[in-house]
Structure 1
Amino acid sequence: MSDTSDRLLAETTSERRALCQVAPGLTFMKIESTLQDGRTRYVRALTVDFASFTGKIRATEGETVMDREKTSAMAELMASQGLKPLAAVNGGFFDIASTFSPGALGGLTVVDGKVLNSASNGESALALGNHGTNLWIDKVWSQSKITFTPPGGNPSRPDHVLDGLNREPGRIQGCGGGFGPAGVNDRNANAKNLIDPRMPQVGIHCLDSEETILFTEEFGALPFLAGTVRAVLIGVDRTVKRVSDTTDGMVAAPGEHVVVATGSHAEWLKADAVIGSTMSLPAAAVQRGASAETPVHFPGADDATVNGGPRLVKNGSVGPFDFSGSTTPQYAYLAPRNARTAAGITAGRELVLVVVDKKSGPKDAAHGLTMAQLAEAMKNLGAADAINLDGGGSSTMWVKGAVVNHPSDGVGEERRVGNAIVITAK
């Protein structure tokens, strides 16, 4: 038993567990631990046993990528789409401070088999596809390029690297690379704020005044973006239909795209993407592994991923979490006790989703868990692999029509978040 586990158990004087079946193969558990100081730690857990569960695990960003919505509302939206939501938890990190796209996710997001957000290269992600057969946690990388061919001619220039997908140009949540070369993180602006400028960081963002971003129909209408900008609307037939020096009013209808470039990239787009030009956009290449060594495909409509980090448990071992002497923003989030959301995969390939409350729940509630304690808690719940998801005020669990934890984004308030993991009956 690790020192962290010893400390976690040493805080506890008694523990009460209550288990109920939400549906065949889906169980909900309440864990309430009385601590030595008299407070109570509130933990809620969902377990999906794919051997008997006949429903589906879905990721959703709500009605549009750019907006935020409550976890409960995202679950209930699926009911209006003819599905039967059973349970849900909040998902990955999103750019809460962006005024351009406050719901945009900070890493790889796949919904219904479609990549909607690029990876912060080197980040961790949770894959949920194909009824548990495509269930994994790993570092992920993504890359994509576009080319514009003039009417009746050859491409005027080589392929152009896309920096991101469905997010604010110039603002990189988590500071990871975007659609750059596999295994390379080229987003090192504000490097002085990073622990390791080559890797993505939780809780901060980087700036880049020269980017090219692709927007899909799922984003919604683009807001105004200041500075040197070029925006082009790409029709269903992949030809340029409209060009503009502003993003205001640009929106991609079903099957369409909008490309936005800033800084020197805007000059490239102005020169190459003229009315009638044809855009070539190969599918985004996604890799997983420490060195982006394994290609990843999302062939089915059920495939989904959510971003997260850090990795909590890997092959049954709790990762090292050394925060001594650190004052950087991401450590300020990782080190202290906080409300937490996490996902784990057991050795038997079950999915475990966990939410831990913070002090703004009941008056006797404990102050959440540190990241190291969360990792140990996930291991104690049977996770052989586990990942931290967005926590703090975002941490929410919803089961069959009701929020079952105590969200900490204000007293009793549920935060509007970027995405959610929703378990449905079909």
Structure 2
Amino acid sequence: MAITSYRPGLTRAAAVTVTALLVLLAPPAGRAGAAPATLPLGDPGLPETRTTQTLAAGVTLTRIIRGTEPAPPGQIDTTARGPWRVDVLTIDPHTAHGHVRATYGPDLAHTEKTTELVRSARASAGVNASFFTFTASAEYPGDPVGLGLYDGRLLSEPTGDTTEADFLVDAAHGDRARMGRMSWTGSLHNRRTGATLPLTHVNHPPVVPPACTGLPDPTQCSVPGDVVRLTPEFAGTTPVGAGVEVVLDRHGCVVRTRSSRGTHLVPGQTSVQATGVGAAALLHTAGGGCLRTDSALTDEQGRRVPVHPGLSGVTGRYRLTAHGRIVVPAGSGGFFARNPRTIAGTTRDGKVVLVTVDGRMTTSVGTTMDETAAVAHALGLTDAVNLDGGGSTTMSVEGTLVNHPSGPTERSVGDALVFVPGPYRPAGQGS
């Protein structure tokens, strides 16, 4: 099979390509974390090729193609003959001269293509990451549905949904990664009066209860609503609508109060919007004084996760492997059927691995959730999560696509996980 270059004219490192044709009856058993010779997909004995390219010291890109014959269009969801196309980006923090982080576009509320996010971050490579609102919000399509943590700034909170499985990576401490379902609590505290008000969201448009949409005075609403903290990173203007809004300066002191929502924030300002019974509660808590914002991120064991510069976190759906074991739950329906997939995980020796599986095509049929977990395990990912997939599944090297997205064109996404050459420096100190 001919070897295809992923990125013509790579300048960061000379490409070293090794191809092996593997035609084995079954993948050999081995200890957890040791990659079998072939992927456990489809019929035993399918031909499989692996092409590995060195992008930079400690950074490799491996393309795996299993199966050779295109799938009949009507059998993409059921064929045991494939084919499958898998791209594997491996970063060894011990030898790589760079760091992994999450990134988004000019603001969090809108979307950009993964290739653009890789270019703007001056990254060598990257994949799409978090689930985001997409078609659910025409005005704010990039709003993460779950955890969004960027260089130590918590810009979107975990949902609390039991299906959420988050991926955290710490660029300030050698790209150490952790996975699991995170939880969050937040509140406002008036330093003068002691009044406290729980927050429900960070950087998410508040919902106006239907019973309150026609009230001339939003503080008269008597049913639960939202209390949301908004930062300038979210969008150029805060969400417009019924409710109240309090704008705070960099010290948390009230700059202005509005009886409706929607304003422009200048650098250093934040906003708190409230709907439902939260509208009156916010005005009472703010009370013309200064507010302290408390925020706590915790893991599945209830342990506090310190949020500091260099820490990134993105949201996935379902843990694939944990401590070397496959843990994906059983399920049915479209999400569990064969689809394009994006995976983030780590090996036993601390490598960070980002994977895309092309799907919904005769040239690569995609994987079910069970197959996705099996792929992660076979690649030696002792811990792995399933990131946003489907039409979002994208891998880019040097700002150029290396996989084949399932749509007619590359889809814009909410954020990406990228590898950036050079030592980590906190925001404002250069790339």
Query: How would you bin the TM-score normalised by the shorter chain?
Result: 0.7 to 0.9
Separation (CA, whole Å) in 2 of partners of 1:343 and 1:142: 22
Q: Shift of the alpha carbon at 1:332? A: 2.6
Does residue 316 in structure 1 map to residue 324 in structure 2?
A: yes
Gaps of 5+ in 1: 80-84, 172-207
**How far does residue 243 in structure 1 lie from its aligned partner after superposition?**
1.4
The question of 1:405 aligning with 2:420 is answered no
- 2 CA distance for matches of 1:111 and 1:279? 23
CA contact (8 A) 1:145 1:161 kept: yes
Which residue identity does 1:379 align to in structure 2?
H
| 8 Å CA contact 2:144, 2:156 repeated in 1 | yes
Counterpart for residue 57 of structure 1: 100
CA contact (8 A) 1:41 1:357 kept: yes
Q: Are 1:239 and 2:250 an aligned pair?
A: no
Task: String of CA shifts for 1:392-425, please: whole Å, max 9, x gaps.
Answer: 01100001231100112x31x1111111001111
Indicate the residue corresponding to 2:137 in structure 1: 98
TM-score (norm 1): 0.79
Match of 1:374 in 2: 372
Partner of residue 78, structure 2: none
In the TM superposition, 1:60-75 aligns within 5 A as: 60-75=103-118
Matches for 1:278-317 after TM superposition, within 5 Å: 278-282=290-294, 284-289=295-300, 292-299=301-308, 301-317=309-325
Choose from 100, 125, 128 the match for 2:169. 128
What pairs up with 1:135-146 in 2 under 5 angstroms?
A: 135-146=177-188
Cα deviation for residue 76 of structure 1 reads: 1.1
Deviation at 1:223, TM superposition (A): 5.2
Structure-2 separation of matches of 1:117 and 1:109: 5
Q: Assess if the C-alpha contact under 8 Å between 2:85 and 2:364 holds in 1.
A: yes
Structure 1 pair 406–143 and aligned structure 2 pair: CA distance change class (3 A) = same
Corresponding residue of 1:422 = 418
Tell me if structure 1 keeps the 8 A contact 2:132–2:144: yes
- Percent identity of equivalent pairs: 30
* 1:17 pairs with 2:56: no
Amino acid at match of 1:135: A
The answer (yes or no) to whether the contact 1:251–1:258 under 8 Å persists in 2 is no
Pick closer, same or farther for the CA change 1:235–1:66 going to 2, 3 Å: same
Which residues of 2 match residues 25-424 of structure 1 at below 5 A?
25-34=58-67, 39-79=82-122, 85-96=123-134, 97-121=136-160, 122=162, 123-129=164-170, 130-132=172-174, 134-149=176-191, 153-155=192-194, 157=195, 159-170=196-207, 210-222=225-237, 224-227=239-242, 229-248=243-262, 250-274=263-287, 276-282=288-294, 284-289=295-300, 292-299=301-308, 301-323=309-331, 326=332, 331-333=333-335, 335-360=336-361, 364-408=362-406, 410-411=407-408, 413-424=409-420
Report how far residue 144 of structure 1 moved.
1.1
More deviation, 32-41/381-390:
32-41
Which shows bigger deviation, 70-79 or 28-37? 28-37
Identify if the C-alpha distance between structure 1 residues 6 and 46 changes in structure 2 by more than 3 Å, giving closer, same or farther: closer
1:287 is aligned with what amino acid? T
Query: Would the alpha carbon gap of residues 245 and 27 (structure 1) be closer, same or farther in structure 2, given more than 3 Å must change?
Result: same
SS at match of 1:145: strand
Instruction: Give the distance between the partners of 1:118 and 1:423, measured in 2 at CA.
Output: 24
**CA pair 57-131 structure 1, distance change in 2 beyond 3 A:** farther
CA RMSD of aligned residues (A): 2.2
Alpha-carbon deviations, 1:150-183, whole Å to 9, x = none? xxx523x3x1110010112139xxxxxxxxxxxx
On the 8 A contact 1:75/1:87 being kept in 2, the answer is yes
Contact 1:336–1:369 (Cα < 8 Å) also in 2: yes
Return the offset for 1:8: 2.1
Cα deviation for residue 89 of structure 1 reads 0.2
Q: Which amino acid is 1:94 matched to?
A: F
Contact 1:216 1:258 (C-alpha < 8 Å) held by counterparts: yes
Change (3 A) 1:340 1:382: same
Seen in structure 2, the aligned counterparts of structure 1 residues 131 and 6 have a Cα distance that, compared at 3 Å, is: closer
- 2:14 corresponds to which residue? none
State the shift of 1:67 in Å. 0.9
Instruction: Decide whether aligned partners of structure 1 residues 12 and 390 sit closer, same or farther in structure 2, where only a CA change above 3 A counts.
Output: farther
Q: Equivalents in 2 of 1:12, 1:100: separation in Å? A: 49
TM-score by length of 2: 0.78
Q: 1:356 to 1:240 in 2, by over 3 A?
A: same
Going from structure 1 to structure 2, the CA distance change for 1:423 and 1:12 (only over 3 Å counts) comes to farther
Bigger drift between 251-260 and 43-52 goes to 251-260
Structure 1 residues 40 and 133: alpha-carbon distance in aligned structure 2, compared to 1, 3 A threshold: closer
